[in-house]
Chains A and B, each alone.
Chain A
Amino acid sequence: MNQNWGLIRIDDRLIHGQVIAVWCKHRPFTRIVIVDDEVAADPFMQEVMRLAAPPGLQVDVLSLEEALRRLPQDPHPRETTMVLLRSPQVALRLYEGGTRYTALNVGGLGSGPGRRPLFRHIAASEEEIAALKALAERGVDITFLTVPGEKSRSFKDLLGL
């Protein structure tokens, strides 16, 4: 099974300081895969994402549909690949579409109307919580952690499951 992804991370800001200045220095990633329909449809944002990544780090942007098709047979080494997603729903779709993983990092989900604060600055809507629950039920170990070395919480503890 393809469970040895370097990191699968939900972060609504996708590539940013924590990802580049901390995660990428902490572990030897060679590639970031962004699964996001919006960025996949916007050539300008794709270029920004590529330019923002440090030299030597490959950035691939896939729409959800492309990701569902390509990630299960992805030929690149998985241990050094970071997959960035904007929402738990996308994570669930990927999982059900055959991109299996055992651990999921929730690194950043901003607050807003109708969103419940869960841990520090991570908030989620009811649909997002439902998607996370569905993943937890399938045995995915979900951890709320912004960057290595910080305080973390497991999703199960948080909901008292």
Chain B
Amino acid sequence: MRIPRKSVVIAIAVNLLLMGVGTVVARAAPTAQSEPVRMSFLTAVAVGILYYLAWSPWFANLGFTVLYRPLIAGTLVGAVMGRVAEGVAIGANINVLYLGWITAGGSFPGDPGLAGYLGTALALGGGLDVQAALALAAPLGLLGGLTYSLRMSVCSLIPHWADRFAEEGNIKAVARSNYVYSQPFLFVLYAVPVALAAYLGAPAVGAALEWIAQHAIWVMNGLFVASGMLAALGIALNLKFLFRGNTWPYFFVGFAVTSLMAGKVNLVVLAIIGACVAYVHVLFTAREGEEQPAPSAEQRASPGLLTRRDVFRAWLRWLFFSHSCYNWERMQGLGFAHSMTPIIEKLYKKQEDIRAALKRHLVFFNTQPDIGGVVHGIVIAMEEERAAGADISDEAINGVKTGLMGPMAGIGDTLQQGIVIPIALALGIGIATGGAVGTAKQGNILGPLFYLVAVAAFVWGVGWWVWWQGYVRGRAAVTSILRTGTVARIILGAGVLGNFIMGALAVQFVRLSTPVAFMVGGSTFHLQAILDSLMPNLLPLLLVLLVWWLVARKNVSPTWIMAGIILVGILSAYPIWPGLNEAGESIRVGLFGG
């Protein structure tokens, strides 16, 4: 018990240190310049390495959940290129598009990390402003999916080596197969293309931009329009999961409240309002008798072969390396076996027992890493009882794994990817941009730091708690965690809060207005003023609802919508519509634009 606590303290200290360093770096960084940063070869290599690190297992499960998100990616690339504040702003903007990004059970739609790392690098290196960066980085995210299949296929070879090591009873080699052998390949796969693209792409982007500025200035305007509209896609993808049941009206509540606060919006304040509303909703809709009595917190009688330290060491291995050799053939199978190595080492002394245990856990396994940890806890308990002489068959252990990994993944994905990450991101982006998404050139480092802390608290805190519950209570942990109804209430409340926040974001993040104006009989009519007198932010609201209808009701693929928005955004800026300049003279303007 002594050692885990020490580890946690060290982890917290390291984090605080990182946060301090981050803040100092951000303060020391030069303020925004529109001059492009020269993309040196070393800088490009650093960007490539950062992208690999986001995929790597070296950050206690904060790689994929934190480093991989564009908000953080932009911050890190900004730091490497000496423009932290701009990097934060660009990353935050790119991330708006990926608010509703969810990957479940090995399916992988697009690559926010690529959009974040390469997009920010190209934007800073090519001298793009925030808007142009968003319109440029958005499609980059679609390319990343290409390497995913290759990675999953190549990593399928490694479990076969692990099978051989298991046959020899070589515990250390099985562990190594999981966290060492896949990494050189993944490093090359991720770092090299991104470094090359950043190095070669940045000057090209800069040159293209110069050409546009000289020959087709309206395209710049179009990129600005498109970037304001793209946020609608990120929000709509989230609404696809949220805008349903009896919580959808809260979307309009959030929209209305934010609209009324015109110009003085603070997302953190809004989140507090939203959380109170959610609490009240849950309080009034929870039906009497729906709640079942929480089962007694009785613990299983442990044979005492394992200490808390052993269980913690197993958890650490899972926390870091659950996905380090993720592959089509066995998914997290090798990761599971690796997490069991300290347990096997402690419980079994005979070669044949070690061999059997390693082989038992090298099979297909796939769950959500935080909540799914309850399965590992239970399996550790079963292994302990088996080693103490209890009659527990291979089938019984396998049955628990295959039976529980699915349902736990369902709950885990809903909680982590569906609730914790999007809400933390929305707040992080709000703080990072000071509420001025799309226009803020300087980001606030507190935004990404807030996101880091919120997600780390969930991934580490809830992750270890669930794992430990599985170990001390066995199978009963699952039903007792679920049966109290707490999880159901959290999901319901998060639905309310999520809708509320998305309504607020429709005002804050989506920019769409029209400069169309005309003279009739001596008086001027500005179309936007007429729309505003009807209702402020009408166009952003209609756009979000239109995109939601396309993704949720018509099943149009987000890729097509993204392409459509960029095209419509750019074309709509072409000046063929009637407008008025400041002197009141009639000119041609785009349909949308600033």
Contact = CB atoms under 8 A, between A and B. Distances in A.
Interface of A: 12-22, 25-26, 38-39, 42, 44-45, 47-49, 51-56, 108, 110-112, 117, 120-121, 123, 146-150
Nearest to A111: B329
11 contacts: A20-B411, A21-B413, A22-B107, A47-B479, A48-B478, A53-B410, A55-B488, A56-B245, A112-B363, A120-B152, A121-B329
B479 A150 contact: no
A112 B364 contact: yes
B387 interface: no
B10 interface: no
Interface stretch (B98-106, B173-181, B258-266, B496-504): B98-106
Contacts of A42: 403
A121 B106 contact: yes
Nearest to B492: A55
Contacts of B313: none
Interface of B: 102, 104-109, 149, 152, 156, 240-241, 244-245, 328-331, 363-364, 366-368, 399, 402-414, 417-418, 475, 478-479, 482-483, 488, 491-492, 555, 557-558
B160 to A, nearest CB: 11
A90 to B, nearest CB: 16
A52 B106 contact: no
Given A45-B403, A52-B482, 6 more contacts: A20-B410, A21-B104, A22-B104, A44-B475, A56-B245, A111-B330
* 9 closest cross-chain pairs (CB), A and B: A16-B406, A52-B407, A20-B410, A13-B406, A110-B364, A51-B482, A17-B413, A17-B409, A17-B104
B578 to A, nearest CB: 41
B491 A21 contact: no
A120 B412 CA distance: 23
B488 A48 contact: no
Contacts of A47: 479, 483
Given A48-B479, A148-B555, A17 B105 contact: yes
A149 B406 contact: no
A16 B402 CA distance: 11
A49 to B, nearest CB: 6
Contacts of A16: 105, 366-367, 405-407, 409-410
Contacts of A110: 330-331, 364
Nearest to A20: B410
B404 A121 contact: no
A140 to B, nearest CB: 22
A54 B412 CA distance: 12
Contacts of B102: 21-22
